[in-house]
């Protein structure tokens, strides 16, 4: 039996947001002023960039987004291999 892929149970909002982040990451990294800062995505929309994640998370909450509808990540080079992430059991 083939193990269930992370992709198959990852919430659609997280998947779409993550895909947009990785699509934009090469350009974000090129801007030295953005490296090391945090960025938030909701689907294809970039919600903002900040020095830390807290204001971005607060903005997502202010917009009424649920935790499985957005991502907040740091702008830095990422490994080419997907990292293993332990998602909350409520997402499965």
**Contacting residues for 53 by C-beta, under 8 A, at least 6 apart:** 38, 72, 74
Q: How does residue 3 score in pLDDT terms, banded at 50, 70 and 90?
A: very low
| C-alpha–C-alpha distance, residues 58 and 6, integer Å | 27
| C-alpha–C-alpha distance, residues 60 and 50, integer Å | 13
Predicted TM-score (pTM) of this structure: 0.78
pLDDT, one tens digit per residue, over 26-67 is 999 999 999 999 999 999 999 999 999 999 999 999 999 999
Cα-Cα-Cα-Cα dihedral sign, residues 63, 51, 19, 24: positive
Strand arrangement, sheet containing 45-50: 45-50, 38-42, 71-74
pLDDT attached to residue 10 = 86
């Amino acid at each position: 039996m083939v193990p269930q892929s992370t992709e198959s149970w990852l919430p659609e909002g997280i998947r779409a947001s993550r895909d947009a982040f990785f699509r934009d990451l090469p350009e974000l990294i090129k801007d030295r002023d953005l490296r090391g800062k945090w960025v938030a995505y909701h689907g294809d929309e970039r919600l903002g960039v900040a020095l830390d994640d807290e204001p971005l998370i607060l903005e997502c909450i202010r917009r009424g987004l649920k935790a499985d509808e957005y991502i907040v990540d740091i702008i830095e080079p990422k490994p080419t291999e997907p990292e293993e992430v332990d998602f909350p059991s409520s997402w499965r």
